[in-house]
Amino acid sequence: MWPYLVRRLIAAIFVLIGVSLVVFLVLHLTPGDPAQVLLGPRATPDDLARLRQELGLDRPVLVQFVRWASHVLRGDFGRSIMLHRAVLPELARRFSATLILTAGGVLLAFPVGTLVGIVAAARRGTLIDRLTTTAAMLGVSMPAFWVGLLLIITFSVHLGWLPGTGMYSATGNGGITDLVVHLVLPAATLALLPLSIIARLTRASMLDVIGEDYIRTARAKGLSDRTVIGKHAFRNILVAMATVFGLQAGFLLAGAVYVETVFSWPGIGFMMVNAILTRDFPLVQGGVLLVAATYVLINLGTDLLYAYVDPRIRYG
Amino acid sequence: MVSSGGQAVAQVIGEARPPRETGTRPPTSWQRFLANRWAIAGAVVVLVVVVAAVLAPFLPLRDPNGTQPARRLSPLFAPGYVLGADHLGRDLLSRAIWGARVSLLVGVLSTALAVSVGTTVGLAAGYYGGRADLVIMRAIDILMAFPYILLAIALVAALGPGLVNAMIAVAVVNISFYARGVRSAVLLLREQEFIVGARAAGATEGRILRRHVLPNILAPILVFVAMNIGWMITETAGLSFIGLGAQPPSADWGTMLADGRQFITVASHVAAIPGLALFILVLGLNLAGDGLRDAFDPRLR
């Protein structure tokens, strides 16, 4: 177990270096740099050259990369060029907003999706099954950015029940109630796609398992439906569920970019789009590193989860 | 007697051969597809959208970019404007139909790009193995360590915003999925007897790849394409929605949604309609794709 973990973590470090280097090269080897964005189209070549020198953009790309990486190792992510602020606190603020949003989405998507899938499988062919299967099909086909707008139109504009933008009210005290009220619509939007996928997948794996001999045996010895489905069958779909969990991480982040744009949620996805468009190199680099690290850790966590839910899986 | 080639197909696409009964013939994949009502409904929806998109220039529609300030933000069912008009007085019905052209073109082109590159890479990695495989798979690991949305955004930032570049970005993101899938299918095939037999008979490597390997992985690839194309269309529209794809004033569903978003308090239909169009097309594609998968590749269900 431990040697496996160490090997995976070392591999993760190389992946992160690779990801950072690729982003660095993509940013630096394509036309347009922060100096141009800052000074605008009327800048003189002299001004541009001076600013580039000030920002260290005139040195060879690899030198810049090594300099950036060595600073990062010492915990210094540099300063955002556009925001005139240190990158690290900005990342922390934005990342925590995205974490709150995704946590809301996950808490909604996983329990509800799993439950819907199990019920649909256990009541296969009934009206409940048909309704939930149809709803899940609609759910996977709806673009998140459209669903978000529809929710805002319905619940904010017409009914006026819930706020449609931001994380806190301007006049509120920034309390937890205020946050939760603002979280409902974005989290529901973010949850829709994973919820539908999970429901479909749970139903499919449940149907596979229900056909197995040991389920028939369990039924034959007189166990209740609840025990057979809830205990015997459920444990055996957990490996499939763990796989979805890992896969959904990428979808959740992509969804977060759209949801944050639609709801003006001050998260990291929204920030990254703007940072990339304004070529704010330090902010982009820091954000990519943070997001990729999260992603790699989630994938590693998924693999460890396999071994936990299925004792037959062992890592040496 | 089934040939070994047929057996390999059955293995790769996981087609469980039903037990032979005398007198009845098991339904073919196409028969199974045609018996699936939902799949047919999806295929019909897609067909209608395709026909409307192709015929758009010949339909009695207003110029999708023609502005009519007097008609700005016309509501649904306004005289002459069935679906109303946007903030510049452009006919939403006309724009929705012209937008289908963009989305369908995007779906077809980006899928074609992802499939051709991904298949080639996967074939090379899986069939030749060794160092080529190692290098390719590590590169794909790095590609997959990026959350795909960041990769797409970074690519668009590098290439510059625009519909073609957004399409390329979405395609590149998908290359890794195709490459992985094809590679693992080829790894299974490589050791099959009919491949070994072909080699023993003196077939060149190129011929083996073209005549024996490729045809055997075509079915799973096509099934994956059918299930993937709706996603590609949604993602490209999403990039347009956040301002990285198609640029105004083009009649593209993602751009239309972004435009309409500013007016949701006064005219919510302007944002709702392009999204509805996107939803209908993607739903049709997904229904048909699910049907194809169930008919041709029961193992993936």
User: Going along chain B, which residue ranges are E strands?
Assistant: none
- Mean predicted confidence (pLDDT) in B4-10: 37
The CB density around residue A311, as the number of other CB atoms within 10 Å, is: 7
What are the pLDDT digits (tens) for A167-215?
777 666 667 777 787 888 999 999 998 899 888 888 888 888 877 888 8
Q: What angle do CA A129, A133, A134 make, to 5 degrees?
A: 120
| Nearest CB neighbour to B275, from listed A18, A149, A269 | A149
- pLDDT at residue B145 in the model: 67
- Mean predicted confidence (pLDDT) in A237-265: 79
Interface contact A143, partner B, CB < 8 A: yes
- Mean predicted confidence (pLDDT) in A241-257: 75
What is the residue type of A59? R
Q: Does the pLDDT value for residue B14 go beyond 70?
A: no
**Among chain B residues, CA nearest to A252:** B147
* DSSP reduced 3-state for B219: helix
Confidence band of B15 (pLDDT split at 50, 70, 90)? very low
| Nearest CB neighbour to A149, from listed B235, B257, B282 | B257
What are the pLDDT digits (tens) for A101-147?
988 988 888 889 988 988 888 888 888 888 988 888 888 889 888 99
Interface contact A56, partner B, CB < 8 A: no
- pLDDT at residue B11 in the model: 40
B125 CA to chain A: closest CA distance, Å?
20
A221 CA to chain B: closest CA distance, Å?
30
Asked whether the beta carbons of residue B241 and residue A258 sit closer than 8 angstroms, the reply is yes
A51 CA to chain B: closest CA distance, Å?
21
Interface contact A10, partner B, CB < 8 A: no
Distance CA A10, CA B257 (A): 44
Confidence band of B279 (pLDDT split at 50, 70, 90)? very high
Chain A residue numbers touching B265 (CB-CB < 8 A)? 157
Distance CA B239, CA B237 (A): 5
- Contact by Cβ (8 Å): B50, B104: yes
Q: Which residues contact B207 (CB under 8 A, 6 or more apart)?
A: B198
- pLDDT at residue B113 in the model: 93
Task: Report CA-CA distances (Å) from B211 to B69, B190, B192, B201.
Answer: 60, 13, 14, 14
Interface contact A128, partner B, CB < 8 A: no
Interface contact A168, partner B, CB < 8 A: no
Confidence band of B12 (pLDDT split at 50, 70, 90)? very low
- pLDDT at residue A239 in the model: 75
- Mean predicted confidence (pLDDT) in A87-112: 89
Chain B residue numbers touching A277 (CB-CB < 8 A)? 157, 161, 243-244
Taken as a whole, chain B contains a residue count of 301
Q: Does the pLDDT value for residue A94 go beyond 80?
A: yes
- Contact by Cβ (8 Å): A198, A110: yes
- Contact by Cβ (8 Å): B178, B115: yes
Q: Which class for A222: exposed (0-12), middle (13-18), buried (19 or more C-beta within 10 A)?
A: exposed
Mean per-residue pLDDT of chain B: 79
What are the pLDDT digits (tens) for B62-84?
777 777 777 777 777 777 777 77
Chain B residue numbers touching A204 (CB-CB < 8 A)? 301
Distance CA A155, CA A146 (A): 14
Chain B residue numbers touching A138 (CB-CB < 8 A)? 283
- pLDDT at residue B169 in the model: 87
Q: Which residue has the tokens 């062919």?
A: A125
Distance CA A94, CA A116 (A): 33
For CA atoms A134, A140, A143, A145, give the dihedral sign.
Answer: positive
- pLDDT at residue B16 in the model: 45
Chain A residue numbers touching B264 (CB-CB < 8 A)? 149, 152-153, 157
Confidence band of B151 (pLDDT split at 50, 70, 90)? confident
Helix (H) or strand (E) holding B53: helix B37-55
- Contact by Cβ (8 Å): B292, B226: yes
Confidence band of B22 (pLDDT split at 50, 70, 90)? low
Asked whether the beta carbons of residue A291 and residue B142 sit closer than 8 angstroms, the reply is no
Chain A residue numbers touching B146 (CB-CB < 8 A)? 19, 288, 292, 295
Task: Report CA-CA distances (Å) from B109 to A77, B43, B112, B157, B225.
Answer: 39, 19, 5, 20, 12
Q: Does the pLDDT value for residue B299 go beyond 60?
A: no
B21-25, B284-288, B295-299: which has the minimum mean pLDDT? Answer: B21-25
pTM of the model: 0.81
Task: Report CA-CA distances (Å) from A97 to A92, A116, A187, A190, A246.
Answer: 9, 29, 12, 14, 21
The single-letter DSSP state of residue B208 is I
The CB density around residue B83, as the number of other CB atoms within 10 Å, is: 24
The single-letter DSSP state of residue B298 is G
Range from A205-214, B27-36, B104-113 that averages highest in pLDDT: B104-113
| Nearest CB neighbour to B148, from listed A22, A250, A272 | A250
Number of H helices, E strands in chain A: 14, 0
Chain B residue numbers touching A142 (CB-CB < 8 A)? 279, 282
Q: What angle do CA B63, B65, B67 make, to 5 degrees?
A: 95
The CB density around residue A4, as the number of other CB atoms within 10 Å, is: 14
Asked whether the beta carbons of residue B279 and residue A150 sit closer than 8 angstroms, the reply is no
More confident residue, A92 or A82: A92
Closest CA to A117 of A51, A196, A14, A189: A196
Distance CA A128, CA B183 (A): 40
- Contact by Cβ (8 Å): B60, B67: no
Asked whether the beta carbons of residue A276 and residue B153 sit closer than 8 angstroms, the reply is yes
- pLDDT at residue B8 in the model: 39
Confidence band of B7 (pLDDT split at 50, 70, 90)? very low
Q: Which residue has the tokens 């904010």?
A: A156
What are the pLDDT digits (tens) for B222-256?
888 888 888 889 888 888 888 888 887 777 888 88
A81-90, A108-117, B15-24: which has the minimum mean pLDDT? Answer: B15-24
The alpha carbons of chain B give a radius of gyration, in whole angstroms, of: 23
What are the pLDDT digits (tens) for B155-193?
787 777 788 888 888 898 888 888 888 888 888 787 788
Q: Which residues contact A150 (CB under 8 A, 6 or more apart)?
A: B272, B275
Best to test chain B binding among A16, A146, A157, A190 (most B CBs inside 10 Å): A146
Helices A144-151 and A238-263, packing angle to 10 deg: 60
Q: Which two tokens stand for residue A91?
A: 């990342």
- pLDDT at residue A222 in the model: 81
Taken as a whole, chain A contains a residue count of 316
Asked whether the beta carbons of residue B159 and residue A15 sit closer than 8 angstroms, the reply is no
B196 CA to chain A: closest CA distance, Å?
33
* pLDDT above 70: percentage of residues in chain B: 90
Q: Does the pLDDT value for residue A60 go beyond 60?
A: yes
* DSSP reduced 3-state for B91: strand
Asked whether the beta carbons of residue A295 and residue B265 sit closer than 8 angstroms, the reply is no
Q: Does the pLDDT value for residue B1 go beyond 70?
A: no
Asked whether the beta carbons of residue A153 and residue B242 sit closer than 8 angstroms, the reply is no
* pLDDT above 90: percentage of residues in chain A: 3
Asked whether the beta carbons of residue B242 and residue A276 sit closer than 8 angstroms, the reply is no
Distance CA A289, CA A15 (A): 10
Q: What angle do CA B174, A193, B298 make, to 5 degrees?
A: 65
Confidence band of B116 (pLDDT split at 50, 70, 90)? very high
Q: Does the pLDDT value for residue A314 go beyond 50?
A: yes
- pLDDT at residue A174 in the model: 67
Closest CA to A138 of B298, B50, A130: A130
Q: Which residues contact B91 (CB under 8 A, 6 or more apart)?
A: B61, B62, B64, B66, B68, B81, B83, B85
